[in-house]
């Protein structure tokens, strides 16, 4: 049972792939936003026929563009007997247009396992493999916020199938077991989000801490009575020495939170009660 953790995270897939279509040449690279999942997979988003966005993993180990059947069903994408379908428009975030793309309508056991156990922290809808990746010169750099995708005038040749025997034996059964385990533990594919609450205050780092620069009219900070020049020294019982520390403390509170701020105004200590709202 030892390899069960490792195996669902690998995306090394073997299937037969039909031809892909060449993209229109463009002079400069597209900038494609991405994020790393909890499993260190490179995730990009794409819209299929204008719907979505859906979450995809970039995988040189996959010989096709995979989209899970649930999404295809919702979008009315039909698959033939060998699970191949066709989508009119596949647009990657960063305005990368791909037209008339062949797609494998299938849920590889790796996706099933990761979604079932909530391992990636995000629901995965598919995998972008070789036929799409090969049409670009792609730069990966995890110190940057966006990838660079330069379109190539290149019609990638089709992959040859290796055969069904390549899939790890009994993997489907193992994944079923893992899904049950994930269900028992209450695992979700998509982690819930918390949106930080809004204060409506422009701040700067001063010599002795964080100083209020200006207040936005009608914002919670103005309503609470903060004034330009006030120095914020504490949120609840937590000291905040600089803007960075203050941001970290503030990030713990969503909208509609009541916060007690300790401030210094004209040399005197005061307490201010601020109620956060929605906004950014």
CB of 125 to another protein, least distance (A): 14
Q: Is residue 235 exposed (0-12), middle (13-18) or buried (19+ Cβ within 10 Å)?
A: buried
Q: Which of residues 60-119 bind another protein (CB under 8 A)?
A: 60-63, 93-95, 117-119
Q: Which is nearer to another protein, 77 or 246 (CB)?
A: 246
First to last CA, the chain: 47
Residue from 88, 194, 239, 269 in contact with another protein (CB under 8 A): 194
**Binding segment (CB under 8 A) for another protein, from list 75-83, 97-105, 127-135, 265-273:** 127-135
CB of 267 to another protein, least distance (A): 24
Cis-peptide into 20, omega within 30 deg: no
Give the three-class secondary structure for 67: strand
* Element spanning 73, H or E: helix 69-75
CA distances from 265 to 5, 22, 271, 275 (A): 55, 65, 10, 20
CB of 232 to another protein, least distance (A): 11
Q: What are phi and psi of 230, to 5 degrees?
A: -60, 145
Q: Which of residues 135-154 bind another protein (CB under 8 A)?
A: 137-143, 145-146, 152, 154
**Binding segment (CB under 8 A) for another protein, from list 30-38, 75-83, 99-107, 262-270:** 30-38
Residue from 67, 68, 201, 240 in contact with another protein (CB under 8 A): 201
Over 141-184, what HEC string results? CCCCCEEEEEECCCCCCCCCCCCHHHCCCCHHHHHHHHHHHHHH
Cβ neighbours of residue 257 closer than 8 Å, sequence gap 6 or more = 197, 275, 276
Is residue 173 at the binding interface for another protein, with CB under 8 A as the rule? no
CB of 180 to another protein, least distance (A): 11
Is residue 161 at the binding interface for another protein, with CB under 8 A as the rule? yes
Q: Which is nearer to another protein, 64 or 72 (CB)?
A: 64
Tokens of 64: 């096709």
Handedness of CA 240, 241, 242, 245 (dihedral sign): negative
Is residue 203 at the binding interface for another protein, with CB under 8 A as the rule? yes
Handedness of CA 254, 258, 260, 264 (dihedral sign): positive
Is residue 272 at the binding interface for another protein, with CB under 8 A as the rule? no
Size of the site for another protein (CB under 8 A): 102
Q: Which is nearer to another protein, 87 or 215 (CB)?
A: 215
Cβ-contact 122, 190 below 8 angstroms: yes
Residue from 18, 188, 245, 272 in contact with another protein (CB under 8 A): 188
Q: Which of residues 218-257 bind another protein (CB under 8 A)?
A: 218-219, 243, 246-247, 250-251
Residue from 57, 87, 240, 261 in contact with another protein (CB under 8 A): 57
CB of 117 to another protein, least distance (A): 6
Q: Which is nearer to another protein, 25 or 268 (CB)?
A: 25
Distance of CA 138 to the CA centre of its chain: 19
């Amino acid at each position: 049972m030892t390899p069960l953790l490792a195996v669902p995270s690998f995306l090394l897939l073997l299937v037969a792939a039909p031809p892909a279509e060449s993209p229109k040449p463009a002079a400069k690279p597209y900038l494609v936003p991405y994020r790393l999942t909890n499993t260190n997979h490179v995730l990009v988003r794409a819209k299929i026929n204008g719907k979505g966005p859906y979450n995809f993993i970039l995988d040189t180990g996959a010989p096709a563009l995979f989209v899970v059947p649930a999404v295809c069903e919702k979008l009315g994408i039909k698959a033939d007997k060998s699970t191949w379908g066709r989508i009119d428009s596949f647009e990657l975030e960063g305005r990368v247009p791909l037209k008339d793309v062949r797609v494998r309508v299938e849920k590889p056991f790796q996706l099933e396992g990761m979604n079932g156990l909530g391992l990636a922290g995000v629901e995965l809808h598919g995998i972008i493999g070789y036929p799409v990746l090969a049409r670009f010169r792609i730069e990966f750099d995890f110190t940057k916020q966006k990838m660079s995708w330069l379109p190539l005038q290149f019609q990638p040749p089709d992959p040859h199938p290796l055969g069904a025997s390549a899939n790890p034996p009994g993997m489907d059964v193992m994944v079923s077991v893992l899904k049950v385990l994930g269900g028992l533990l209450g695992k979700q594919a998509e982690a819930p989000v918390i949106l930080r609450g809004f204060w409506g205050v422009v701040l700067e780092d001063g010599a002795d801490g964080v100083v209020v620069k200006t207040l936005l009219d009608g914002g919670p900070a103005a309503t609470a009575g903060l004034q330009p020049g006030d120095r914020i020294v504490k949120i609840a019982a937590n000291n905040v020495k600089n803007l960075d520390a203050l941001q970290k403390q503030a990030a713990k509170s969503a909208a509609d939170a009541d916060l007690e701020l300790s401030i210094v105004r004209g040399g005197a200590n005061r307490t201010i009660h601020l109620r956060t709202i929605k906004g950014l």
